[in-house]
């Protein structure tokens, strides 16, 4: 059997490998190559070396978008995870209708980002209308609009992951803790939390990378208005690539830098949270 598996390994792995190469490896390598060139379409590039990268860092739009993205990510990662964890705690209590609530909270996650963006634009503009304002009046409105939107969309998903984690916490450990005289808060912090650390790792990873890479919702909700002050990194890259002729290579360079930033942040986060995971 082993021998045969080895024999046919290439045959069975090939389709997936091909798909992976075509849809990921090739575009990725091509993308990195293009960031060192100037081009109008991807087929007529000419080499310019590091020129694009120096233009990225002299572009105030990029730095502003980076700062806005960092602020947004910090706020939304905290709010999403705290709220999702609270909901998860609430819905593992065995209240009546738990399953119905779980389903309802999870549902927003099934709607696409663009649609959500427009729906929330209508809702938020409808509310702000009473104060003679719209989302574009101040960047603050756009910022909190995005935070609310992301929370609404992601909490359900994270909650499901936390619920799975909480359900795996052995009852006897909780019992032992209460016999030892631990308060509810102490039990939560010192028994439950360390045991659901794997869930926290995965939830942090998902929220962190999704918030940082946010594009659809940003495009649909504010499109950067007013004056690009609510533009996040992904949208800025898109605008650079398509909105400024002659800047395609710079857009590509921004994308490569963006990739490195996201990869670094996520790796560091994984390292830190992994270390805190314990065996139950």
Partner 1 sequence: MIDEKRLVTRMLRKQITILLSFILTVMLVLVGCAQANSDKKDETQGGGDTAGGATEIYFLNFKPEIAEVYNEIAKDYEAETGVKVKVVTAASGTYETTLRSEIAKANAPTIFQINGPIGYQTWKDYTRDLKDTELYRSLSDPGLAVTDGEGVFGIPYVVEGYGIIYNNEIMERYFALDNRAVQDISSMDEVNNFAKLKAVVEDMTAHLDELGIKGVFASTSLAAGEQWRWQTHLANMPMYYEFLEDNPEQSTVLTALAADEIDFRHSDHFKNIFDLYLNNSITRSTLLGSKSVADSMAEFALGQVAMVQNGNWAWSQINEVEGNVVKAEDIRFLPIYIGVEGEENQGLAIGTENYFAINKKVSEEKQQASIKFLEWLFSSDKGKDYVVNKLGFIAPFNTFNEDEQPTDPLAREIVNWLDKDVHSVEWTFAAFPSEEFKNQFGNALLEYAQGNFDWEQVTSTVKEAWASEKAK
C-beta of 197 vs 250, nearer to partner 1: 250
188 binds partner 1 (CB under 8 A): no
Residue closer to partner 1 by CB (options 8, 186) is: 8
Token pair of 55 as six digits: 């233009």
Interaction of residue 132 with partner 1, rule CB under 8 A: yes
| Residues contacting residue 50 through CB under 8 Å, at least 6 positions apart | 36
Helix (H) / strand (E) containing 134: none
As measured in angstroms, the least distance from the Cβ of 92 to partner 1 is 41
| Contact map string, positions 233 to 262, toward partner 1, x by CB under 8 A | ---------xxxxxx---------------
| Least distance between partner 1 and beta carbon 237 (Å) | 13
CB of 173 to partner 1, least distance (A): 47
CB of 2 to partner 1, least distance (A): 13
Backbone angles phi, psi at 140, to 5 degrees: -60, -40
Give the Cα separation of 244 and 227 in Å (integer). 16
Q: Which is nearer to partner 1, 194 or 226 (CB)?
A: 226
54 binds partner 1 (CB under 8 A): no
Q: Does 103 help bind partner 1 (rule: CB under 8 A)?
A: no
Total chain residues near partner 1 (CB under 8 A): 29
CB of 109 within 8 A of CB of 154? Answer: yes
Spatial separation of the C-alpha atoms in residues 186 and 184, rounded to whole Å: 5
What are the C-alpha distances in Å from 93 to residues 134, 171, 214?
A: 40, 13, 33
- Considering only CA atoms, which of 141, 120, 137, 143 is closest in space to residue 69? 143
Catalog residues that contact partner 1 under the rule CB under 8 A. 4, 40-44, 121, 125, 129, 132-138, 222-228, 242-247
């Amino acid at each position: 059997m082993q021998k045969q598996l080895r024999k046919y390994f290439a045959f069975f792995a090939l389709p997936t490998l091909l798909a992976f190469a075509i849809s990921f490896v090739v575009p990725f390598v091509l993308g990195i190559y293009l960031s060192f060139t100037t081009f109008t379409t991807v087929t007529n590039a000419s080499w310019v070396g590091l020129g694009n990268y120096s233009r990225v860092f002299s572009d105030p739009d990029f730095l502003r978008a980076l700062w806005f993205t960092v602020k947004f990510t910090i706020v939304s990662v905290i709010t999403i995870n705290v709220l999702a964890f609270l909901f998860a705690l609430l819905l593992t209590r065995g209240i009546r209708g738990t399953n119905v609530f779980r389903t309802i909270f999870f549902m927003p996650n099934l709607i696409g980002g663009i649609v959500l963006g427009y729906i929330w634009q209508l809702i938020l503009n409808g509310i702000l209308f009473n104060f003679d304002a719209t989302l574009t009046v101040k960047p603050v409105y756009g910022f909190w609009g995005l935070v609310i939107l992301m929370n609404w969309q992601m909490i359900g998903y994270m909650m499901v992951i936390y619920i799975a984690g909480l359900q795996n916490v052995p009852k006897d450990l909780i019992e032992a803790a209460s016999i030892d005289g631990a308060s509810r808060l102490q039990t939560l912090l010192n028994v439950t939390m360390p045991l659901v650390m794997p869930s926290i790792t995965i939830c942090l990873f998902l929220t962190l990378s999704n918030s940082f890479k946010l594009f659809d919702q940003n495009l649909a909700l504010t499109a950067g208005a007013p004056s690009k002050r609510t533009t996040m990194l992904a949208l800025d890259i898109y605008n650079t690539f398509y909105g400024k002729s002659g800047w395609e290579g710079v857009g590509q360079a921004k994308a490569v830098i963006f990739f490195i930033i996201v990869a670094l942040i996520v790796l560091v986060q994984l390292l830190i949270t992994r270390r805190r995971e314990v065996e139950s």
